Amino acid sequence: MRSSEYINKDEVAIIGGGPAGMQTALVLSARGFSVRIYEQKEQLGGHLKGWHHLFPHGVAASDLLGALKEQVLARAIPLHLGQTVDHLQKVGEGWELWQGETVVGRAGVVVLANGFALFDARRKEEYGYGLYPSVLTSADLEAVFRKERPWPFGPDCAAPQIGFVHCVGSRDLKCGSPHCSKLCCVTAVKQAMAVKAFFPEAQVYCFYMDLRMHGLEYEELYRKAQVDYGVRFIRGRLSEAAPGQGKRLHVKAEDTLQGRPLHLQLDMLVLMSGMVPTFVLEQQERAVFFKEPVFGSGFVPVQGFLAAGSVVQQKGLFASGACKGPATLPEVFADAAAVACEVEQYLKSLKAVAHA
Amino acid sequence: MPKPDFGFSFAPNRALELSVPLLPEVQAVLEAEPSIRACMACGQCAAVCTAGVFTPLAFYRLVLQLWAGEVEVVGQRAQHCMLCGKCQMTCPRGVNIRNALLLMAALLPPKP
Amino acid sequence: MEKSAWFVWPFMLGFMFALAVLLLRYLWWLRSLLRRPSSRLLSRMFSKHSLLAVREIFSEGLLHLRIYKRNRRLGFMHMSLALGWFMMIVGGKFETWFHSGQFLHGTWYAVFFRYFEPQTVGGWAGTFWLHYMDFGLLLVLTGLALAIVKRIRKKVLGIHSTTRHTLVNRVALTFLWMIFPLRLVAEALTFGQHGGGGFLTGALGRCCFTSGTLAGLELPFWWAYSLSLGAFFVVLPFSRYLHIPTEMVLILLRHWGLQAAEDLQPEKALQAFEIHACSSCGLCLDVCPAIKDHPFQSAYFLRALRSGKGWESLASTCLSCGACEEACPINLGLEKLRMAARGKIHEKHHAVYSYLPTVGPVETSKVDVLLFTGCMGRLKPATTKALKDLFEEAGLSWVHLDEQESICCGRPLALAGRASEASALREHNRSLIKGQQARMLVTTCPICLKQFRDDYRLELPVYHHSEVLWSCLSSGSLKREKGTACFSYHDPCELGRKSTCYQAPRELLQSCGTLLSLEREQADALCCGNSLGSLSLSLSERQALTSRTLKVLEVPGAQSIVTSCPLCQHNLARQSSLPVKDLAEVLAVTGLPEQQGQRKAALAAVQEL
């Protein structure tokens, strides 16, 4: 008996149990397809697990995640938690999912929903991440909001001086990421406002190159941060972080609109780490390997202009959500639904061929 | 003949005239170092610059001034550059700033 | 001379022409020296220096020992061509002398001797010269065969790249390649017809050319031989083969104490001889880290200088990593020449540094170390912090000279050919250093190190931090235990080739872990791609170089890449999938906490006393 006979051609395997994976699974399941989720962590949720609240309305991340999980459970979608997949093997029209030397699953269609990774801020050594405890990434700050880690300054500091650096590992050819991560701008605005809510006396500065408030109500949030929260936006880049007075950091920057260099002492410096690929596809004729990304690697490439998630050169392999490039949550949800429709079309076309 | 005094004067027109062609010396600099065009004036170069702390040298501004045809200002300010290359190391757009500044500083005739 | 000798004229005319042109060119290049010869030069001319020069001419111009040391097959090719030819010239002279009892003859006589005197076998000496001359010819032909193989399959000669030649050079090459096979056939024909000859020409003649019908071919082949010689000599002064005589003169001039000018004068004095002494052997191409991207290597740069066209971009793009200068078999001052060219390109550049501060940090008591981290050091806070921790651990006191604002050391300007501007910066830094009381100046940047050491003439010694840390380890003020970490070490150009510091970093790494050996390291190491030496190399080209260098460094087993230059580290760290650290960082984290505790306790005890 050939192994392809094990494969249920109608079954869809979804790799990644974050918002994209869950949403794709939900839409496909609602349309009557049998779906499985393979998630390498022990819990569903992806990056959403680490977030405190969401822009632009301030919805608690745990509420959204809870609602998604509930639906997944309600639909009894089979979950393979703690299951890593490192390559796919084409067998007949379908796929085998492999980890190392063992087959961990079989499916007619595979949807990649592995999401994104955060740029490793240590690569921009001049900002001192990992060297000075008061330098955080945006993800670290969310953990502070979620009370999973302490504020980097003492309780006696009622009026902390705080700086946000935009575009850390985005729009930077030297870091191999020429793209704009597009949601760090509004995340910084959201986080700056949150910090002000915790410490009304704090002075918060955002150092930006361009503010890209592309989403609905983002621009309004930006204005609110300026007017109601007193956040100061400075168009310019930071040079480097160095030890300053006491436990503070000494920071140098250029205010490009004033055309003058500026110095300031900070209690906390937040680096808005960009979104980078978590893996690169090494495509062979009948196999697809998920490899560690190397310098300059891009996101998963999809076919043409009209396809939402059909992966280049591979029939029956789709990609959903932020593994294809930076995306906000609403965009991920919309994309996941579109990819689900494409998967449905594909499965139907296979059936039509079989009948003919 | 003395100029008539009407009791008021007109300030010179400050607007940049974009429809006139670039100065040949500006064009020559852009041709010799085409990466200058990639500058988006983020200010990273100026943030790391030692000369910029003491003088009005800020590479991204020189680029803007070059486009505006302010050759003399560009030449004068570029002369403060020490060519250390810190700006080029950190430039997110991969501009060859050292070469650009060498070319810019040559826009002025050398002092005796 | 009984036989018709008209055929010697092409050779004679070509030879005289080459001689005349060479003489004129050399006189033109030496014009200023001839007008005002320096007393130093004159005194060295009649001293042992001339003998040393002759020795070098023999070892490099003929035996090509330096090429041989780098690449045996290539060295043998050059050696067999040059030495064989030289043997034949000398042997020819002796043979004619021996035969006629007369020392002076027309130049053609020795060159076409076999034609005039086919039966010269007179006793053992005559036989000796016959075989000797055949041996010389065989040597040249072997070299020629290797040269042809090199053109077709360069890998056989152990090289990856050969120089692409211009038309005049290809013409000269063709004539040169024709000369010796033609001589072989002409001599063999003569011996075949008249008997005699050595082990090569005689044997060939006896086996192939005894037939009387071939007698008519004898003279045409001697004509062809003469024609190819003559033609080669006519193009010689305008082709790369000008290097043959020029290299000898260059060696003499160097030994007589002549130095290349700082500014670009490609038709004057030593610089002219350097530019024309390059044989385009291709060793500089083979070692160049950028060979796949750009044809700016020294062989091409010098050729452009010879023709006066297109040298500007070649001079600007080069990384100045120093690999070609290290490999050059005739030790040409390539970096100096390139800087002179850059100085010429940017001669209109001018700088003003009056704004710089002239007062450094104030420290009244004497410290051990004056620390200079340089411009790039500011971007590497982890290195600086680690080094300061290590100084503390080793009990060294320090002042950080450029903690606030960094004044550039001047080397980046020098690398752009702006020597005078660089000296202005040196003045500023010198005045900052003068106010300090320290035992030594330590820098974390090899670029600064090179500049401070070579051009500052400071009263205190200058060290790279790897050297200081090594001496701390040797003296026992720093202690490390060999751990399980595996490192691959990247030699920065400015620390390795430019400052010949290879041992200190290696000793440091071996003290705390295992150092892996690499395909290219030490003097052969590749440039990280971020060199300040290049002015116009684009970012994508630099990144391509970096990934090539990383391929060498990311060997199996390596857990981290270590280097000792802030530029290299910055650049490699951005692109590498392995962590890239400075030596100081590696050494700081491998310190055993227990030892550090002991040391602190000891210090506290001393302070209590």
**Where are chain C's structural domains?**
10-241, 259-344, 349-609
Q: What is the DSSP letter of A311?
A: B
Is C373's Cβ below 8 Å from some Cβ in B?
no
- pLDDT tens, position by position, A39-62: 999 999 999 999 999 999 999 999
Q: Which residues pair with A161 in a beta bridge?
A: A203
- pLDDT tens, position by position, C399-416: 999 888 888 999 999 999
What integer best gives the mean pLDDT of chain C? 89
Indicate whether A119 pLDDT > 70: yes
Is A238's Cβ below 8 Å from some Cβ in B?
yes
Q: A25-37 burial by CB neighbour count: b if 16+ within 10 A, else e? A: bbbbbeeebebbb
Q: Are B88 and C539 in contact (CB under 8 A)?
A: no
Indicate whether C484 pLDDT > 60: yes
Interface pTM, i.e. ipTM: 0.89
Q: Are residues C381 and A173, on separate chains, in Cβ contact within 8 Å?
A: no
Per-residue confidence at C388, pLDDT binned at 50, 70, 90?
A: very high
Q: Domain residues of chain A, as ranges? A: 3-115+278-355, 121-274
* Predicted local confidence at residue C562, as pLDDT: 97
Q: Which of A129, A279, A295 to mutate to test the interface with C (most CBs of C within 10 A)?
A: A295
- pLDDT tens, position by position, B25-77: 999 999 999 999 999 999 999 999 999 999 999 999 999 999 999 999 999 99
Which among B41, B52, B92 is the nearest to A174, CB-wise? Answer: B92
Q: Which tokens go with C496?
A: 């390795």
Q: Hey, what amino acid is at C147? A: A
Per cent of chain A over pLDDT 90 is 85
Is C420's Cβ below 8 Å from some Cβ in B?
no
Q: Are residues B85 and C535, on separate chains, in Cβ contact within 8 Å?
A: no
For C108, counting Cβ atoms within 10 Å of its Cβ (0-12 exposed, 13-18 middle, 19+ buried), the class is: buried
Q: Domain residues of chain B, as ranges? A: 24-105
Is C532's Cβ below 8 Å from some Cβ in B?
yes
Mean pLDDT of all residues in A200-221: 95
Q: Are C462 and C452 in contact (CB under 8 A)?
A: yes
Is C551's Cβ below 8 Å from some Cβ in A?
no
Q: What is the DSSP letter of A174?
A: G
In words, the CATH class of domain A121-274 is: alpha beta
* Predicted local confidence at residue A1, as pLDDT: 37
* Predicted local confidence at residue C236, as pLDDT: 94
| DSSP assignments along A208-271, one per residue | ES-----STTHHHHHHHHHHTT-PEEEES-EEEEEE-STTPEEEEEEETTTTEEEEEEESEEEE
Residue of B nearest to A208 (CA): B42
Chain A positions contacting chain C at CB under 8 Å are 123, 125-126, 128, 131, 173-176, 239-242, 292, 294-296
CA distance B31 to chain A (A): 22
Sheet holding C560-563, edge to edge: C514-515, C486-489, C560-563, C580-582
Indicate whether C591 pLDDT > 70: no
The count of residues in chain B is 112
Is C424's Cβ below 8 Å from some Cβ in A?
no
Q: In whole angstroms, what is the distance from residue A319 CA to residue A111 CA? A: 5
C530 vs B contacts (CB less than 8 Å) = 89
Q: In whole angstroms, what is the distance from residue C189 CA to residue C204 CA? A: 8
CA distance A176 to chain B (A): 10
Superfamily of segment(s) A3-115+278-355: FAD/NAD(P)-binding domain (3.50.50.60)
CA distance C243 to chain B (A): 34
Is C375's Cβ below 8 Å from some Cβ in B?
yes
Which among C355, C416, C539 is the nearest to B102, CB-wise? Answer: C416
Per cent of chain C over pLDDT 90 is 61
Query: Dihedrals φ, ψ of C369, to 5°?
Result: -125, 130
Rounded to 5, what percent of chain B is helix, strand, coil? 45, 0, 55
Q: Hey, what amino acid is at A203? A: Q
* Predicted local confidence at residue A166, as pLDDT: 97
- pLDDT tens, position by position, C15-26: 999 999 999 999
Q: Are residues A237 and B43, on separate chains, in Cβ contact within 8 Å?
A: yes
Q: Which residues pair with C487 in a beta bridge?
A: C515, C560
Q: In whole angstroms, what is the distance from residue C385 CA to residue C382 CA? A: 5
C351 vs B contacts (CB less than 8 Å) = 79-82, 105
* Predicted local confidence at residue C212, as pLDDT: 83
List subunits contacting chain A, requiring 3 or more Cβ pairs under 8 Å. B, C
Whose structure tokens read 């919805």? Answer: A59
Helix (H) or strand (E) holding A288: strand A287-291
Which among B43, B91, B92 is the nearest to A236, CB-wise? Answer: B43
Q: What angle do CA C406, C412, C414 make, to 5 degrees?
A: 125
Q: What angle do CA A261, A267, A268 make, to 5 degrees?
A: 85
Indicate whether C143 pLDDT > 90: yes
C352 vs B contacts (CB less than 8 Å) = 79-80, 111
Residue of C nearest to B110 (CA): C350
* Predicted local confidence at residue C600, as pLDDT: 57
Max alpha carbon distance in chain A (Å)? 78
- pLDDT tens, position by position, A325-348: 999 999 999 999 999 999 999 999
- pLDDT tens, position by position, A275-300: 999 999 999 889 999 999 999 889 99
Per-residue confidence at B105, pLDDT binned at 50, 70, 90?
A: very high
Q: Are residues A174 and B91, on separate chains, in Cβ contact within 8 Å?
A: yes
Task: Flag the least confident range among A4-18, C480-494, C530-544.
Answer: A4-18
Q: Are residues C577 and A295, on separate chains, in Cβ contact within 8 Å?
A: yes
Q: Hey, what amino acid is at C41? A: L
Q: Are residues B43 and A167, on separate chains, in Cβ contact within 8 Å?
A: no
Per-residue confidence at B110, pLDDT binned at 50, 70, 90?
A: low
Q: In whole angstroms, what is the distance from residue C543 CA to residue C571 CA? A: 9
- pLDDT tens, position by position, A2-15: 444 566 778 999 99
Q: Are residues B46 and A238, on separate chains, in Cβ contact within 8 Å?
A: no
Indicate whether C378 pLDDT > 50: yes
Mean pLDDT of all residues in A203-221: 95
Q: Are residues B90 and A126, on separate chains, in Cβ contact within 8 Å?
A: yes
- pLDDT tens, position by position, C501-511: 999 999 999 99
Check residues C121 and C592 and name the one with the higher pLDDT.
Answer: C121
| Nearest to C325, CA basis, from C382, C292, C273, C284 | C284
* Predicted local confidence at residue A4, as pLDDT: 46
For CA atoms C219, C223, C224, C226, the dihedral sign is positive
* Predicted local confidence at residue C280, as pLDDT: 86
Indicate whether B1 pLDDT > 90: no
Q: Are A179 and A325 in contact (CB under 8 A)?
A: yes
Sheet holding C398-400, edge to edge: C398-400, C367-372, C438-443, C462-464
Cα-based distances in Å from C175 to C92, C112, C206, C231, C241: 21, 17, 27, 7, 11
Q: Which tokens go with C567?
A: 């530029």
Is C540's Cβ below 8 Å from some Cβ in B?
yes
* Predicted local confidence at residue B69, as pLDDT: 93
| Nearest to C321, CA basis, from C334, C306, C302 | C334
CA distance C443 to chain A (A): 18
Task: Flag the least confident range among C48-57, C162-171, C214-223.
Answer: C162-171
CA distance C300 to chain B (A): 21
| Nearest to C355, CA basis, from B72, B55, B47 | B55
Domain C259-344 sits in CATH at 1.10.1060.10
* Predicted local confidence at residue C344, as pLDDT: 93
Given this chain, do its domains A3-115+278-355 and A121-274 carry the same CATH topology? yes
* Predicted local confidence at residue B3, as pLDDT: 73
Q: Are residues B53 and A235, on separate chains, in Cβ contact within 8 Å?
A: no
* Predicted local confidence at residue C363, as pLDDT: 66
Q: Are residues C385 and A131, on separate chains, in Cβ contact within 8 Å?
A: yes
Which among B42, B53, B91 is the nearest to A209, CB-wise? Answer: B42
Q: Are residues B83 and C413, on separate chains, in Cβ contact within 8 Å?
A: yes
Helix (H) or strand (E) holding A281: strand A280-283
Q: In whole angstroms, what is the distance from residue C333 CA to residue A166 CA? A: 47
Mean pLDDT of all residues in C150-179: 85
State the helix-helix crossing angle for A329-355 and A19-30, rounded to 10 degrees.
Answer: 40
Strands A249-255 and C367-372, sheet pairing? unpaired
Is A296's Cβ below 8 Å from some Cβ in B?
no
Which among A174, A236, A261 is the nearest to B53, CB-wise? Answer: A261
Q: Which of C372, C380, C408 to mutate to test the interface with B (most CBs of B within 10 A)?
A: C408
Query: Dihedrals φ, ψ of A78, to 5°?
Result: -60, 135
Q: In whole angstroms, what is the distance from residue A190 CA to residue A248 CA? A: 24
| DSSP assignments along C438-457, one per residue | EEEEEES-HHHHHHHHHH--
| DSSP assignments along C21-46, one per residue | HHHHHHHHHTHHHHHS--HHHHHHHT
Helix (H) or strand (E) holding C486: strand C486-489
Chain B positions contacting chain A at CB under 8 Å are 40-49, 52-53, 56, 58, 60-61, 89-94
Mean pLDDT of all residues in A137-152: 96
B94 vs A contacts (CB less than 8 Å) = 173-174
Indicate whether A169 pLDDT > 80: yes
Cα-based distances in Å from B33 to A225, B36, B99, C220, C338: 41, 6, 7, 59, 19
Helix (H) or strand (E) holding C255: helix C243-255
Q: In whole angstroms, what is the distance from residue C157 CA to residue A121 CA? A: 47
Q: In whole angstroms, what is the distance from residue A86 CA to residue B86 CA? A: 41
- pLDDT tens, position by position, C288-326: 888 777 788 999 999 999 989 899 999 999 999 999 998
| Nearest to A10, CA basis, from A356, A353, A343 | A343
B45 vs C contacts (CB less than 8 Å) = none
Strands C580-582 and C560-563, sheet pairing? parallel
Q: Are C378 and A126 in contact (CB under 8 A)?
A: yes
* Predicted local confidence at residue C599, as pLDDT: 52
Q: In whole angstroms, what is the distance from residue C183 CA to residue C222 CA? A: 7
Q: Are residues B92 and A126, on separate chains, in Cβ contact within 8 Å?
A: no
Per-residue confidence at C436, pLDDT binned at 50, 70, 90?
A: confident
* Predicted local confidence at residue A2, as pLDDT: 44
Q: Which tokens go with C447?
A: 């670029």
Q: What is the DSSP letter of C601?
A: H
The count of residues in chain C is 609
Q: What angle do CA C583, C588, C591 make, to 5 degrees?
A: 125
Indicate whether C394 pLDDT > 50: yes
Q: Hey, what amino acid is at C560? A: S
Q: Which of B40, B90, B91 to mutate to test the interface with A (most CBs of A within 10 A)?
A: B90
